Amino acid sequence: MYIPDELLARRPWLRHYDPVVKPSINYPSFPATEILRNTANVEGDKAATWFYGTEITYWDLHITVIRLANKLIELGVKKGDRVGIHLPNTPQFVIAYWALLTVGAIVVNLNPMYTKDELQFCVENTGVTALFTFDTVLPVIKGVLEEYSIPLVVVTRITDFVDAAPTSTREELGLPDGWHHFSELLEQSTNKIPPHIPIVPDDPAIIQFTGGTTGTPKGAVLTHRNVVAASFQCEMWGDSVIGRLPTSRKRVLCTLPFFHVYGEIVALCTSVQGASTMVILPRFDPDEVVNTIAAFPEYSFWPCVPTMLAAVLNHPRAEELELAKRFALINSGAAPCPVELIERANKLNIFFSEGWGMSETTSLGITQPIQGVKKPLSIGIPYPDTDVKLVDLNTGETVKQGEIGEIWIKSPLVMKEYWNNPEETAEQLKDGWLRTGDLAYMDEDHYIFIVDRSKDLIIAGGYNIYPRDIDEVLFKHPKVKDAITVGIPDEYRGETVKAFVQPVADVEVTAEELIAYCREHLAAYKVPRIIEFRSELPRSNVGKAFRRKLRDEEIAKMKKEKEEKA
């Protein structure tokens, strides 16, 4: 493809694009829901979802979405309302997601593993007026509703959309008066006429919570334009491999959680954009995943995080499954992929790529070419229509090639704002440029290499964890005087959460006691795996935690232990 010299001068990495990837896309100016409608119109009989043996076709999914959307309007859901989806990966999530976008509501992604306090913060911060949830977390929901009113609550059981399992009832689930049962709502709605809600590309579609510079979660507001751009970009980027398959053979393994924008875009939305069947699993259990992989002769795509990839590649059945033949493409994101894991994938002849993105960039941004040159430890090159510059933190000027600077990105992928947080929005968005907080350099071929994070974010198992959240929980324990949490390298999880604790003088406390305390107040993935007690913790004169010092000590200790074993 011919690329004008002036465009190459601005985006020199375009020369490394795969032949099928355009440097720019003419994105349609339609609501994100048109992605589903378009696919249903041309691939109506294709299975959209597979869930424990039960399939829903694209046409049936489309009609079910319309029926639910009309019922939600009847129940008072309006354009602009914030509605939480508090579900694991299920057909119910897929239906609720597209129905809410059809209504013009804003989807608030809520992790099912949130504790009461974490969930309550998110619903209060966004003013949630409706919630989709499921039976096993109802004690948490009821706890939240004791202090915050949500007018519309819709409950399902995970197996309600599995033909081999009986559908639950509101009586069986013990739903309070005024609550609604997901399946019964659908039965009550037979209106298949699409609602005509005026939605423009700049309207908000999703709020995704992410850690802030103050430790307080922020809600990144992603628009319909963001969702459309990300879906089109993600599909086109993989087309050099996946595009060679007929639609009948396209199948995506959906182990990434839909309640995070990474899974929502690259697994859910991109599957619909490309008319792929979503093979849905509600949790990541290595044996269940491997059994599901074995249940189908091939997959077009598996987007994952390093933890998931490691679990499958190191599984006893990995070689037996012939993963290289079974998967056209595997892509890893959310955390750096260890070199050893990349080498393992290469030894198995797997077509593998990895990339970088943020909640604020609709989960995409920079990635390795699929067919082109892949450089170890590099996050790759920017997506189409994306500008990237590396900025000196002190001067605000763009650094020279090869020098380290903060990644600033401008793209149709970049969020609109942080929800109800103009101060943080102004701090992170500068004239359309998003300050990412990641420090990197660009090599002679304009490939980007991250060297550090200016923020203290921990990425463990693909989850973003802000250490101050854990510090503050530990501070509340009566036997803790001080605490500093860091992420330390872990071959399996990417990073492991470790807390350094200074106990109150002359008081006995155990690591097990503190870990159990954290389990009561934090989601499971945030709970420290390791606690080390110290008589004093490193802080500056003004009380700033020297997390980097503790992390560097851990890395040095791990390196020494590795050398001694060798």
pLDDT tens series, the chain, 566 aa: 678 888 898 999 999 999 999 999 999 999 999 999 999 999 999 999 999 999 999 999 999 999 999 999 999 999 999 999 999 999 999 999 999 999 999 999 999 999 999 999 999 999 999 999 999 999 999 999 999 999 999 999 999 999 999 999 999 999 999 999 999 999 999 999 999 999 999 999 999 998 644 457 899 999 999 999 999 999 999 999 999 999 999 999 999 999 999 999 999 999 999 999 999 999 999 999 999 999 999 999 999 988 899 899 989 999 999 999 999 999 998 777 777 788 889 899 998 998 999 999 999 999 999 999 989 889 999 999 999 999 998 899 999 999 989 999 999 999 999 999 999 999 999 999 999 988 899 999 999 998 766 667 788 888 878 787 898 899 889 999 889 999 998 888 889 999 999 999 889 999 999 999 999 999 999 999 999 999 999 885 445 678 888 988 988 988 888 888 77
Please give the full DSSP string across 106-168, using - where no structure is assigned.
Answer: EEEE--TT--HHHHHHHHHHHT--EEEEEGGGHHHHHHHHTTS--SEEEEE-GGGG-TTSPPP
Domain holding 85: CATH number? 3.40.50.12780
Three-state secondary-structure class, residue 465: strand
CA nearest neighbour of 156 among 101, 89, 212, 222: 89
Same domain, 421 and 518: no
End-to-end CA distance of the chain: 50
Among the three residues 367, 399, 425, which one is the final residue of a domain in this structure? 367
311, 94 in Cβ contact below 8 A?
no
> Do 413 and 448 share a domain, yes or no?
yes
Q: How many domains does the chain have?
A: 3
Residue-wise DSSP of 193-219: SPP-----TTSEEEEEEE--TTSS-EE
Question: Would you state the pLDDT for residue 541?
Answer: 46
- Does residue 6 lie within any of the structural domains? no
Task: Clarify whether residues 38 and 64 are in a common domain.
Answer: yes
Q: How far, rounded to the nearest angstrom, does the alpha carbon of residue 88 sit from its chain's CA centroid?
A: 13
Q: Any idea what the CATH number is for the domain that residue 539 is in?
A: 3.30.300.30
Q: Which residues contact 146 (CB under 8 A, 6 or more apart)?
A: none
**198 located within any domain:** yes
- Same domain, residue pair 357 and 406: no
Amino acid type, 397: E
- Pair 205, 235 in one domain: yes
**Domain assignment present for 372:** no
Residues 444 and 493 in one domain: no
Residue 21 located in a structural domain: yes
* Domain boundary residue, one of 453, 471, 490: 453
Task: Indicate whether 381 belongs to any domain.
Answer: no
Task: Tell me if 2 is assigned to some domain.
Answer: no
Q: What is the CATH number of the domain that holds 390?
A: 2.30.38.10
Distance CA 46, CA 172 (A): 34
Q: Is residue 358 part of a domain?
A: yes
CA atoms lying within 13 Å on the CB side of residue 353: 24
Q: Do 499 and 424 share a domain, yes or no? A: no
Q: What is the pTM of this model?
A: 0.86
How confident is the model at residue 214, as a pLDDT?
46
Sign of CA dihedral 448, 453, 459, 465: negative
Q: Which residues pair with 438 in a beta bridge?
A: 453
- Between strands 204-210 and 106-109, the pairing is parallel
C-beta of residue 453 within 8 angstroms of C-beta of residue 272: no
78: nearest Cα among 180, 152, 176: 152
Boundaries of domain holding 145: 12-367
Confidence at residue 109, expressed as pLDDT on a 0 to 100 scale:
97
Same-domain status, 254 and 402: no
Whole-angstrom Cα distance, residue 12 to residue 481?
52
Residues 115 and 230 occupy one common structural domain: yes
Q: Which of 432, 453, 474 represents a domain boundary (last residue)? A: 453
**Maximum distance among all alpha carbons in the chain?**
73
326 and 184: one domain? yes
Same domain for 275 and 149? yes
Do residues 474 and 425 share a domain? no
Please report whether residue 325 resides in a domain.
yes
